[in-house]
Structure 1
Amino acid sequence: MSAATSPTERRVSARIGAISESATLAVDAKAKALKAAGRPVIGFGAGEPDFPTPDYIVEAAAAACHDPKYHRYTPAGGLPELKKAIADKTLRDSGYEVDPSQILVTNGGKQAIYEAFAAILDPGDEVIVPAPYWTTYPESIRLAGGVPVEVVADETTGYRVSVEQLEAARTEKTKVVLFVSPSNPTGSVYTEAETEAIGRWAVEHGLWVLTDEIYEHLVYGDAVSVSLPALLPELRDKCIVVNGVAKTYAMTGWRVGWIVGPKDVIKAATNLQSHATSNVANVSQVAALAAVSGDLDAVAEMRKAFDRRRQTIVKMLSEIDGVVCPTPEGAFYAYPSVKGLLGKEIRGKRPQTSVELAALILDEVEVAVVPGEAFGTPGYLRLSYALGDEDLVEGVSRIQKLLAEARD
């Protein structure tokens, strides 16, 4: 071992040094820094609703600030009343009946994902990850000692993978399949039949399923979000559900997510959290309690706005020569293919990758988008339409004008 790689010389561990920065947060940070410097940047980077958190949720949090019982440590796994409310919400929204002992409240969805993988993966275990994928999934798998195995779907299938593709990727080391519907970054939503087929395949081969339901309430048109463990009771003993309040209730900054799963897995993940972070901030937990216990009226209003923006952004992007933009059925992202523009001359440059094209768009017209490389599929861009209508139209108009200059 050379001195350069000696453990005594290495300043950052190999395990942590291998983690990539969150590409979506990096793009959002750059856009915000440019804005702070006075530049008229429009950011399509972060998956963050532009609406304020509903008033009744904020008021519940404000009241909690004045209650001394929330000034102290509480159970690491979550406030009992919140866990009960999450169980009730899970039954109400997806038809899946669970006990509060099957729930762990976490510091946002990212911690939920990491702790779920950490609780069930041993070194070398493989996790099948459909791509395009959210940037955090493979990093969480690697941190937990697992090996992500990508299965790629493209615009020709609506970014949905098939059972045949999953089976082709399965090996004797496969332990988990990741299932995400509605999807970040594509907005794809699996049909009930597709969902059931994937679930039955997992049951047949004794695989675990981690299903991320964070966008469950953001579906449009005829699309329906189906919860796998509700659909297939025989899967429940090897199914972990990740969810949270961030997207549904415009609460990204409150940092409250949760895991639903078998009791032994939840106990193990709770033990991990007891040493990592202890309890989630009590004020945030009380806010989440108000959110999941309340009705979905505010969510319905936000969904109307997202649906309107969804239609606008798809129409405008589809008007650009060289861009193919499937209509997303859920979440709040468009994921157009820009492969038809790569290699073309645009203002004296010939971007060869979607990374280079995204950089050109930011430099030339001050619009921030995330390149497909961040999601495991080069040749695409992700644009979040969770921003104001005027900014959306202005931002895409700038992109349209720039890319109209593309020449062979």
Structure 2
Amino acid sequence: MRIAIVGPAFPYKGGGAHHTTELAHRLAAAGHEPVIESWRAQYPGFLYPGQQTISEPEGEPFPGTRRRLDWRRPDGWWRTGRSLRGYDLVVLAVLTPVQVPSYLGILAGLGRGTPVVALCHNVLPHERKPYDAPLMRRLLRRVNGVLVHSEAQADLARELTGRPVRVAEMPAHLPTPAAAAQDDGKVRRNLLFFGIVRPYKGLDVLLRALAAGPGDVSLTVAGEFWGGLDETRALIEKLGLDGRVALRPGYVPASDVPGLFAAADALVLPYRSATASQNVWMAYEHGVPVIATDVGGFGDQVRDGEDGIVCAPDDVGALTDALKRFYAPGEPERLRSGVRPVDHGPVWDAYLEALTTLPVKGAAVRGAAR
């Protein structure tokens, strides 16, 4: 199949760009003919307060990548759509409702003869604005099928559209270490919070649990703060954690990731809500157990008591108990010994099958209201 994937790719950073790129590589390896339609300029700065691009790729860029899209040029959206007429499948990688106007422009240029799948990383944002649902409803009613990464997301998509919705587990697509870190068996009494810091990820809950938990355990927080850095510092001071929490604000390049995981006994994911995340797989690739709340797919990814601990979300007491349980004598070593890297080949095979066999025939259904 000739497949066009519309979404971010290098020099953009982060999970969305990695996923788009890895998806193209996997489709090519499966015998398809993919291209990526990416961006010269994806968002205005005020809509994405973090660092948008990086100078060095963190994986292998896909050679069939075109960068013709620009948020400032709606005429280019239509022209890009028109250029994709005749493809067997167009995949719109949907990370945020902010993309919807450009995707509607692409659909207008594409016309009704080409099947389109919306590949939704999040059907709606964790922190929503009034315009999010109307925008996503308009987009999802214009495509032929929707692919999501959890049953909860599928339920949400079905509230917005009558188009076919399919669920497929998101396979790993983030950089992994060239070799497994050497396990020296030492317990470092240090935990890691990794990734963009936003309210739904529950860093405040973790800080309160840290203050109530084992008093000799420290925490490293590494990632971009989308607001709230001053508030986080104030909370650290209020909780008396000044000497126990190390903040590393800003984007973490792939070359620095192995060192962060090597210095941690566990990765902590204290999310209030989640859809699909790569962080569990990243921790396991580095040989590190995970302490996570039971939201999104974490409860399926983390085997409680074997390679990590799962607890209730948005509950300081439950997370405090999880930290105490983790640091019981011998537990950090035992849980680390249970960590195994996951074979993602079968997961990718199932993912490609779900994407390419969605019932997308009859492209004229786009534009019809539910």
Q: Normalising by the residue count of structure 2, what TM-score does the alignment of the two structures yield?
A: 0.33
Q: Normalising by the residue count of structure 1, what TM-score does the alignment of the two structures yield?
A: 0.31
Question: Taking CA–CA contacts closer than 8 Å with sequence separation of 6 or more, which of the two structures ends up with the larger relative contact order?
Answer: 1
Specify which structure has the higher proportion of helix: 1
